Structure 1
Amino acid sequence: MARTANRDANRPAYTVPGLTTEQGAELIVTLQERLNALNDLHLTLKHIHWNVVGPHFIAVHKMLDPQVDRVRLMADDVAERIATLGGVAHGTPGRLVADRSWDDYSVGRADAIAHLGALDLVYTGVITDLRNAIEQAGKIDPATEDLLIEQLRDLEQYQWFVRAHLESSSGTLATADAPTEVRAAKKAVRKSGKSAG
């Protein structure tokens, strides 16, 4: 019901050639959800960057800055695609908080491995939702689908960078089956403590 209301509120007066305004509206709703996710991810990555501690501090601190920069560019690309389709890109914090379907990142000052464990779950959520958006966009518009696929490749690579810190030599993830960020953080630290000791 809310998705339908958002689609009607976002129905553009015009859109790109070859699409109907209904199709444009559907894409705008999907892209607004991606914009919210990317803006949230950008802030979450900076939060981790500022609050990571421990022996892996500098490696994680420096690893995150290029991710932050790229995610910001992704958000800009999505916002510009919304505008191209005739919509309004909503990028205010209030709109983000009102529209998102997930909770705030739940780890404060913590060891690098703890943050990476939690971040792995964040990336899983963002990537899963992005794959769904790609499927929806692919039914309507190859240009929007292409934009999202390019972002998917980068986000999956960033999750790989994170998971490399959490993976054992046998290929298992320390965060496997963790249902929350806090549990993933605890599992990652516990697993790293066992392998280190």
Structure 2
Amino acid sequence: MEGEFTVAASNSPAYSPAYTVPGMTEAEGGEVIERLRLRLHALNDLALTLKHVHWNVVGPHFIAVHEMLDPQVDSVRAMVDATAERIATLGGSPAGTPGALTAERTWEDYSVGRADAIAHLGALDGVYSGIIEDHRAAVAATDGVDPVTQDLLIEHLRSLELFQWFVRAHLESAGGTLGTGAARGETVVGRVAVQQASRQS
């Protein structure tokens, strides 16, 4: 019924909460909330994508990848919860619905279905690169204005970068070369990883 539900704020830099934490203005709080809003979407998307890969990976490396991903899912879900709670602490309303995620995200949906482990790992390397780059940009943007949020994002990065290393270990040659090289985009990176792996075998 009309008036029963409050609509979450749109993804707009003009959003300002009615209150925020002491020591920050409502405008500053609103700015941080909007940065966290996309981080929340990215982390929710990552958790779903990791689970999708967990279900759809096939081939000789199946069990190693299948079992590697569930702890990553659990850790990313904890990041989601911490991010949503930080948004609420700052006076915002965390948007956790699938509709909000798909309407506001700035990236395409993960496109690899049932596929060999190397194809998925190559694609995941690209996914992690995008999330880590955007998290680092949010760390830089919160410097000075909100050290608590910055600390939260840095803590996320410790795990996200570690998880990318786990993924990249499957793509790296004995000589230390990353099979995906400078490729960008999850579909392209996945394809390059498969081509490189077939050359090495």
**Does TM-score exceed 0.5, indicating one fold?**
yes
Structure with the larger helix share: 1
Q: Matched residues, percent identical?
A: 62
1:8 and 2:30 are equivalent in the alignment: no
Deviation for aligned residue 1:139:
2.8
Q: CA deviation at 1:5?
A: 6.5
Structure 1 residue 105 corresponds to structure 2 residue 110? yes
Q: C-alpha displacement at 1:180, in angstroms? A: 2.4
Q: What TM-score comes out, normalization by structure 2 length?
A: 0.93
1:57 matched to 2:55: no
Matches within 5 A, 1:90-129: 90-129=95-134
**Paired AA for residue 72 in structure 1:** R
Contact 2:17 2:29 in 1 (8 A): yes
- Give the total of aligned pairs: 192
What is the DSSP-based 3-state SS (H/G/I as helix, E as strand, rest coil) of the residue aligned with 2:12?
A: helix
- Tell me the alpha carbon deviations over residues 96-126 of structure 1, each in whole angstroms, 9 at most, x when there is no partner: 0010000000111000011000000000000
What residue number does 1:17 align with? 22
Residue 170 of structure 1: SS of its match in structure 2? coil
Q: Distance in 2 between matches of 1:5 and 1:123?
A: 23
Which residue number in structure 1 is paired with residue 189 of structure 2?
184
Deviations 1:165-185 (A, max 9, x none): 001112111111223222211
Unaligned runs of 5+ in 2: 1-9
| Paired AA for residue 23 in structure 2 | G
2:135 aligned residue: 130
Query: In the alignment, does 2:57 pair up with 1:76?
Result: no
C-alpha separation in 1, matches of 2:177 and 2:127: 18
